[in-house]
Structure 1
Amino acid sequence: MKPQRLAKGDTIGIMAPASPADPDQLQRAVPFFEQMGLRVKFGPTTCLAYGYLAGTDAERLTAFHHMITDDDIKAIIFARGGYGTPRIADRIDYHLIRKYPKILWGYSDITYLHTAIRQQTGLTTFHGPMPVSDIVKKNFDPLSANMFRQLFDPVRLHYTEAISPLDVIVPGEAAGELVGGNLSLLVSTLGTPYEIEMNGKMLLLEEIGEEPYRVDGMLNQLKQAGKLQTAAGIIIGDFAEADPLEGKPSLSLDQVLHDYLADLTCPVMAGFKIGHCFPHFAVPLGSKAVLTTKDKALTVEPGVM
C-alpha cells in the first residue's frame, strides 16, 4: 500500500512522537517546506516537554491520530527522533492508518514506527531527514534536500559510488522489500508483537553514538535470533560517532561488521550515506529494492503513487 503523492499547495503535518522539538529550530525549518509549495501545520505537543518526551504517551498518541485522520494533512513529517516511539506502538489504531494512508517520514527512533506500521498495515513509509535533526543544520546539503522531491513524483531511486565509496562485504545480487533502519531500535522490537520481519527482505542498518562493542552486541542478538541469516541482502548505512573511547582496547567497526556479516550467503555492501549523516539519502521502506555488488548499486522503486 503506497500513499498518495504530494502536490503544490498541500498541507503537511509536523509532530513529535518521541522527544520534543525546540520551537525556534522548528520555525527555522518551515521555509524549507514553503519553498516546495507546501503549507505546514504543527501538532499541539511537538514542542511540549515531558521529561525526555514530547508530552505524555496519551498526548503524543492523540496528536498522531488527529494528524492521521485530518483530511487537510497529506503527509506527516516527524520533527525529530530521540526516544519514545516504542512506548506508543501498542496503542496506535492501525485501522485508522489503513483507512487514511498518507506519507510518513522520519528516521532514527522513528524506525520503531516504520516497522510496526508497515507490518501491521502494509503501508510504505519513508526513512529520511527530519526538520530539527537535519534541515536546520548548517551542513544540510542539496542532495539531502532534493530527496524530498520523491514525495511529489514516483521516481525510481539509484544509489551508486557517485554519492559515496561502497565496500563489498559479500558479493552478489538480490532483490526484495526494503526494511530496517536504526539498529538499536530494530533490536528492541525482538520478542514484541512488532518484531522485525527480515525473511527474504533487503535489510537496511544504520546507527549513531554506539561504540564497536555495542554494535557487536546488537548484531550478535540479531544473529542469535536467527534474523541476519534470513535476509535477502543487507545494506549498511552510516554508523556515526562509532569510534571507541580513546585508549580503550577495541575492535574496529569494520572488524565487527565483517565478523557478523562476511560469512552470510546474501549480498552485503557498506558505505551508504543513509542515516545520521550528510548527505542523507532518503528511501521508501516497504518498496522493492535491488542490490548488486558487481555494479556497486542500489535501486529502490517509488514510494508514492
Structure 2
Amino acid sequence: MNAVKPYRLQQGDKVGVIAPASPPNQENLERGIAYLEDLGLRVKVGKNVSRINGYLAGLDQERLDDLHEMFQDPEVKAVICACGGYGTGRIAEQIDYELIKCNPKIFWGYSDITFLHTAIRQKTGLITFHGPMLGSDIGKSDTHSLSKEGFKQLFEPSAFVYTDQVSPLETLVEGEASGELVGGNLSLLVSTLGTNFEIDTKSKLLLIEDINEEPRSVDRMLNQLYMAGKLKDANGILVGDFCNCIAKRDLTLALDEVIAYYVKLANKPALKGFLMGHCNPNISIPLGVPAKLNTLENRLIVDSGIV
C-alpha cells in the first residue's frame, strides 16, 4: 500500500484531542492543551475525553465516536491522543478505515496507541507520529523541552537525524539498513499477532520500547516476535527506552542481556539507546516513512512525515 503523508499544520489550524485508551489526568491534559494553543493552534476536545469506565476512557463506542468525529471534521487537521494505558485494541475492528483513508490527517501518540499506528498504517497507508502525549507527558511540570519541540516537525517538512548528540547509542549488531520505520510499544506489537492487524516487518526498520515489564516478560515477548518471524523479517532494529523494566525476583537475567540475545539472534543491524518511549525526553518520529540506520556512524535518518 502506498504511503500517504498528511498535510503540515499552519498557525490557526484546529487540532482534535481524543482519549482512545485510558482516561488522562485532566489537570495535565489542560496544561498539554495550553501548550498546543501556545503553538498557535486551536483545540477541539473530544466529547468523551473526560469519561471514565474503569481503566478505559469511556465505553468502546464513545472512544470510537470521538476518533471518527475528528477524522470526519474537515476543520480538524490533526488528531492528538491525550494518553495511552489500555483500550485501543478493543476498538480496532470497529474503526472505519475508509473514513480515515478519505480524510488523511496527522495522527499522534505512542504506548497503547501503537495498536492504532499499526492498524491505521496497514489499512490506509497513512503515515502517523510516535510521540509524547498531552496528559501523560506534555502537561507534566518536568517535561523535557525536547519532548515538546517534537511537535514543531508538524509545521515544516524536514528529515530528522538522530546521533550520539541526542543520546548515547550502542551497537548491538553492526551494519547499515534502510526501510520503512514501523513499530512502537513491544507489548502492543505482540498483541497484534494472529489478528487482522498483525505487524508487518518485512524489509522494515523495527522500533521497540516498553514500560513496567520484567526482563522475563520482555524475553517472552521478544521470543514470540522472533518465532513469528518478525525480527528476522526486519531489515534493522531500533531499541528504544525500556522504562522501569526491572526484575521483581532474585533469579533473573539482565534486561540488556535479554534484548541483546534476541537482536543478535535476528542478526540484523541494530542500535540501542534511542530516547523513544516512556522516557523524558521522549523524541518523536513519524512511522511509515523511509529511514536509514548506520551503526558505523551511530546515526538514524528519518524522512519527513508531512507535506
Q: Please give the TM-score of this superposition, normalised by the length of structure 2.
A: 0.97
Is the 1:12–1:75 contact (alpha carbons within 8 Å) kept by the matching residues of 2?
yes
Please point out which of 271, 289, 294 is paired with 1:269.
271
- Structure 1 position 159 matched with structure 2 position 162: yes
Gaps of 5+ in 1: none
Q: Deviations over 1:57-84 (max 9, x none)?
A: 1111111101100011110000000100
Instruction: Work out the CA distance in 1 between the residues paired with 2:33 and 2:201.
Output: 36
What does residue 302 of structure 1 align with?
Answer: 304
Please point out which of 236, 252, 255 is paired with 2:254.
252
What does residue 25 of structure 1 align with?
Answer: 28
SS in 1 for 2:177: strand
- Structure 1 position 184 matched with structure 2 position 187: yes
Corresponding letter in the other structure for 2:140? K
Is the 2:177–2:292 contact (alpha carbons within 8 Å) kept by the matching residues of 1?
yes
Corresponding letter in the other structure for 1:71? P
- Structure 1 position 204 matched with structure 2 position 184: no
Q: How far is 1:96 from its partner?
A: 0.4
Q: How far is 1:28 from its partner?
A: 1.7
SS in 2 for 1:186: helix
What does residue 168 of structure 1 align with?
Answer: 171
Q: How far is 1:52 from its partner?
A: 1.0
Q: How far is 1:192 from its partner?
A: 0.1
Q: Deviations over 1:80-119 (max 9, x none)?
A: 0010000000010000001100000000000000000000
What does residue 281 of structure 1 align with?
Answer: 283
- Structure 1 position 37 matched with structure 2 position 35: no
Instruction: Work out the CA distance in 2 between the residues paired with 1:81 and 1:178.
Output: 21
Is the 2:25–2:136 contact (alpha carbons within 8 Å) kept by the matching residues of 1?
no
Corresponding letter in the other structure for 1:72? E
Is the 1:13–1:41 contact (alpha carbons within 8 Å) kept by the matching residues of 2?
yes
Pairing 1:62-211 to 2, within 5 Å after superposition:
62-211=65-214
Please point out which of 222, 227, 230 is paired with 2:230.
227
Instruction: Work out the CA distance in 2 between the residues paired with 1:191 and 1:270.
Output: 28
Is the 2:10–2:155 contact (alpha carbons within 8 Å) kept by the matching residues of 1?
yes
Q: How far is 1:12 from its partner?
A: 0.7
Show structure 1 runs of 4+ deviating over 6 A: none
Instruction: Work out the CA distance in 2 between the residues paired with 1:148 and 1:155.
Output: 13
Corresponding letter in the other structure for 2:240? G
Q: How far is 1:263 from its partner?
A: 3.1
Instruction: Work out the CA distance in 1 between the residues paired with 2:222 and 2:299.
Output: 24
Instruction: Work out the CA distance in 2 between the residues paired with 1:215 and 1:231.
Output: 18
Instruction: Work out the CA distance in 2 between the residues paired with 1:294 and 1:287.
Output: 22
Q: How far is 1:138 from its partner?
A: 2.3
Q: How far is 1:26 from its partner?
A: 1.5
- Structure 1 position 56 matched with structure 2 position 59: yes
Instruction: Work out the CA distance in 1 between the residues paired with 2:152 and 2:32.
Output: 16
Q: Deviations over 1:29-52 (max 9, x none)?
A: 222111110011100111100111
Instruction: Work out the CA distance in 2 between the residues paired with 1:89 and 1:104.
Output: 15
Corresponding letter in the other structure for 2:273? G
Q: How far is 1:264 from its partner?
A: 2.6
Corresponding letter in the other structure for 2:91? I
Is the 1:233–1:267 contact (alpha carbons within 8 Å) kept by the matching residues of 2?
yes
Q: Deviations over 1:236-272 (max 9, x none)?
A: 0000001112x52111011001111113332011000
Q: How far is 1:145 from its partner?
A: 1.0
Instruction: Work out the CA distance in 1 between the residues paired with 2:203 and 2:302.
Output: 16
Q: How far is 1:140 from its partner?
A: 0.8
Pairs aligned (count): 304
Is the 1:170–1:264 contact (alpha carbons within 8 Å) kept by the matching residues of 2?
no
Instruction: Work out the CA distance in 1 between the residues paired with 2:278 and 2:29.
Output: 18
SS in 2 for 1:263: helix
Is the 1:158–1:298 contact (alpha carbons within 8 Å) kept by the matching residues of 2?
yes
Instruction: Work out the CA distance in 2 between the residues paired with 1:92 and 1:263.
Output: 36
Instruction: Work out the CA distance in 1 between the residues paired with 2:110 and 2:25.
Output: 18
Choose 2-11 or 26-35, whichever is displaced more: 26-35
